[in-house]
Amino acid sequence: MARPLKFNVDEALDCALGVFWQRGYESTTTAVLAQAMGIQKGSLFNKFGDKRTLYLMALKRYLEKVSVDLQSSLAGAEDPVEALSVWVAQRAATCSSTEGQAGCFIVNTTIEMAGQDPMIGEITKAYWGQLENQLAQILAGGQARGEIRSELKPSTLAHLLMTHLAGMNVIARQGVAPSYFMRCTQALFASFRP
C-alpha cells in the first residue's frame, strides 16, 4: 500500500519555482529540487513527474501569479496608466531585489528555453502576446481619456513597454538597485504623456 504524500503541494511547487528561477532549467538537478522542496526524489517523481513537467508546472504557476498581480494592480485604479507604470517598476524592483529572484522568470525562460523546447516556446510566445495586448488596451484607454499622446499608436507604445520590461529584467540580474528601474519607468511613462 502506497504511503500518502506528507507535504504541501503548493509550497513544494513554489520552492521548485524559486530554484528554477535562481538556477535556470539546465543547471537544476532533481536532487537540488527535492532538497529545496523538502521531499524525497521518489515523491517528486510520483507527484510532479519528471523535471520538465515540474518546470512547466512552475512556469504556469508563475504566469498565473503575474496575471493576478497585474489585474489587482489595475482594479479600481483612478488612473490606470499610472497604476500600470507603478506595476512595471515594481516588477523590475522585485526581480532585482536581493530578497527576490534573479531577473524575471518568464524573461529567463524565454532566453534559456524558448528556442530549445517548442512547447515552452509556444507558452512564452502566448504570454508575451497576451501581455502586449493587455498593455495596448490600457494605453488606448489612456489615449481616450487624454492621458496618453494621441499621435502614438497603442500597439507601438505596448511594443516599447514590452522592450522596457524585458530589458529591465535582464539588467536586474546584475543586481541593479530598484530605484534605477523606478526612475527609468517614470521617464518612459512621462514620454507617453501629452
Same domain, 43 and 136: no
Same domain, 185 and 160: yes
Mean pLDDT taken over the chain: 87
For residue 28, pLDDT over 90 is answered with yes
Rounded to 10 degrees, the C-alpha dihedral 25/28/29/34 comes to: -110
- Say if residue 181 is in the same domain as residue 106: yes
Does the residue 69 lie in any domain?
A: no
- Looking at the structure, tell me whether residues 110 and 162 fall in a common domain: yes
| Burial (Cβ within 10 Å: 0-12, 13-18, ≥19) of residue 146 | exposed
Task: Decide if 134 is inside a domain.
Answer: yes
User: 12 and 81, same structural domain?
Assistant: no
What is the mean predicted confidence (pLDDT) over 139-147?
A: 92
pLDDT of residue 1: 40
Domain residue limits at 143: 76-194
35 & 102 share domain? no
Cβ(12)–Cβ(35) under 8 Å? Answer: no
Domain co-membership, 129 together with 191? yes
Q: How many domains does the chain have?
A: 2
- Say whether pLDDT at 2 is over 50: no
Q: Is the pLDDT of residue 169 over 60?
A: yes
pLDDT at 26: 94
Between CA 118 and CA 125 the distance in angstroms is 10
68 lies in some domain: no
Q: What is the mean pLDDT of residues 70-81?
A: 86
Confidence of residue 86 (pLDDT cuts 50, 70, 90): confident
Q: Are residues 122 and 149 in the same domain?
A: yes
pLDDT tens, position by position, 117-132: 999 999 999 999 999 9
Cell, residue 111: 532566453
Over residues 170-179, mean pLDDT: 79
pLDDT digits (tens, 9 = 90+) for 55-67: 999 999 999 988 8
Alpha-carbon distance 69 to 46, whole Å? 31
Answer whether residue 3 shows pLDDT above 60: no
C-beta separation of 51 from 30 below 8 A: yes
Lowest mean per-residue pLDDT among 93-97, 178-182, 187-191: 93-97
Q: Give 147: exposed, middle or buried? Use CB within 10 Å, 0-12, 13-18, 19+.
A: middle
* Residue at 1 is within a domain: no
- What is the amino acid identity at position 187? A
CATH assignment of the domain containing 166:
1.10.357.10
CATH number at residue 22: 1.10.10.60
What Å distances lie between residue 80 and 3, 19, 44, 86, 145, CA to CA? Answer: 50, 34, 42, 10, 10
Confidence of residue 5 (pLDDT cuts 50, 70, 90): low
Query: Do residues 87 and 138 both lie within one domain?
Result: yes
